[in-house]
Each structure stands twice: as C-alpha cells, then as structure tokens.
Amino acid sequence: MILSKIKSYEKIEQYDTKITTSLAENYKTIIENLGEDVNREGLEKTPERVAKAMQYLTHGYELNPLEILKSALFTEDHKQMIVVKDIEVYSMCEHHMLPFFGKAHVAYIPNGKIVGLSKIPRIVDAFARRMQVQERLTDQIKNCIQEALNPLGVAVVIEAQHMCMQMRGIQKQNSVTTTSSFTGAFEKDKTRKEFISLVSNKLS
Ligand SMILES: Nc1nc2c(ncn2[C@@H]2O[C@H](COP(=O)(O)OP(=O)(O)OP(=O)(O)O)[C@@H](O)[C@H]2O)c(=O)[nH]1
Ligand SMILES: [Zn+2]
C-alpha cells in the first residue's frame, strides 16, 4: 500500500495513490451511507484523509519484521535477561476495525547474538500496524524474536484497551486486556517471575 520502504514511519508521504483513490471513493460512499453530505466544506477532503490514515494504520503489511531484526544482529557473549518495556502499541482490532492500544513489554535471554535495541519496538510496530487480535500480535512478536535470534527464551506481555469494548458494545471504559507469550527459559517459574517483577510496576 505504501510505495517505498522507509525506515522511519513518522512521516509517510509516499502512499500508493491508486489505492488511496480507490479507498477514498469507497469512503465517500460510506460517509454518504452514514447520512452525511460529503460535499460540505469540512467533509470534502475527508474520504482522502481517511484513506491515507487507513493506509498508515495498516503499513505493517509492507514491513518484514524478520528482516528488521536480522539487519542488526551482533555477536555478544551476554547471558542475562534484556528487557524493553513500556513500548507503545497502537493497533486495530480485526473484528470492528477500531483501535486497541497500550503497552508491550518484551524480554529475551541471548544465546550468542543480541539485537539492536530499537529493532524491538520496530517489530512491535510492524506487527501492530495491521488488522489484529491482541493474542496473535503477542505471539507474532515472540515467534519473530525466537526465529531471528534463537535465544534461550523470549517473553512478550501486552496490556491494551480495546475501543470496541469501550466506546461501543459492552462499554467497559476501564477494562484492560493482558496477553502473554513465553518460550524457553521463560517457561520456568523463576525466570518468568524475574521478568514479571521487572515490568510489574506496569502490570495491573
Ligand atoms: N480475543 C480477542 N477478541 C477481540 C479482540 N478485539 C476484539 N475482540 C472481540 O471480538 C469479538 C467479536 O464478537 P462478535 O460477537 O462477532 O461481535 P459483536 O457482536 O460486535 O460483539 P460485542 O463486542 O460483544 O458487541 C468481541 O467479543 C470483541 O470483544 C482481540 O484482540 N482478541
Ligand atoms: Zn473489536
């Protein structure tokens, strides 16, 4: 959907314009079906804005998370747990196409290779910027790190609020969903507890 692979996604300007046009036409119909006048001043450019917003919110399909990790692997004889916590997550539930958002906490214990730290939030984003369920997002991050680094273990915890449960449906404004996924050493109680204690001030 996005033409070029840009390393920083803060400012994506190069959208696939064919897709933008097609999406915009569809959003025009949607807005009309919702009973609005798509020609009034405030809405005139809205179909195109929404199209670009949706392209941005799903740009993860254009990224290869495994390649992102493999692009910054370093040989290092470090055997302690590495934790990157409080990584902001913005994703979109695949059932309602409404946002879910929160924090991811990721840890691994290296086995000869470490990865450039920034690559962990990058792969969180690469998987989050798709139509998702929180459980799959959690597993995909874990599996990707396991495959790229072959570490002694990986742990991923995500805490998120789902707008589909807050602003519609059951309307529980304070509900937070926690998902977790572990491999290797983190399947042992002691290691998992150490990880949980390192991120626990953030876990409810
Ligand atoms: N397991 C899981 N469920 C999710 C996630 N995001 C949204 N959902 C749920 O997906 C389900 C879809 O259920 P349906 O009964 O088909 O949809 P619905 O009638 O809109 O359901 P309500 O939200 O209960 O009104 C809902 O229970 C949502 O809460 C997620 O990340 N993981
Ligand atoms: Zn939903």
Average pLDDT for residues 73-86, to the nearest whole number?
97
ipTM: 0.89
Structure confidence at residue 10 as a pLDDT band (50, 70, 90): very low
Average pLDDT for residues 167-191, to the nearest whole number?
96
Residue indicated by tokens 């009034």? 40
171 CB under 6 A from ligand 1? no
Instruction: Give Dmax over CA atoms of the chain in angstroms.
Output: 63
Task: Give 148: exposed, middle or buried? Use CB within 10 Å, 0-12, 13-18, 19+.
Answer: buried
Structure confidence at residue 13 as a pLDDT band (50, 70, 90): low
Quote the pTM value: 0.92
Residue 67 DSSP one-character state: H
Let me know the angle formed at the C-alpha of 195 by 114 and 160, rounded to the nearest 5 degrees. Answer: 100
Structure confidence at residue 11 as a pLDDT band (50, 70, 90): low
> What's the chain's average pLDDT?
93
Residues in binding site for Zn(2+): 93, 96, 164
Indicate if the pLDDT at residue 1 is higher than 60: no
Out of 55, 62, 93, 144, the active site residue is 93
Distance in angstroms (rounded) separating the CA atoms of residues 39 and 28:
9
**Environment of ion ligand 2 (residues, CB < 5 A):** 93, 95-96, 164
Average pLDDT for residues 42-58, to the nearest whole number?
97
Q: Are 100 and 159 in contact (CB under 8 A)?
A: no
Task: Count CB atoms within 10 A of the CB of residue 191.
Answer: 19
Instruction: Tell me the HSE value of 162 on the side-chain side, using a 13 A CA sphere.
Output: 23
Q: Give the per-residue pLDDT at 15.
A: 84
Structure confidence at residue 168 as a pLDDT band (50, 70, 90): very high
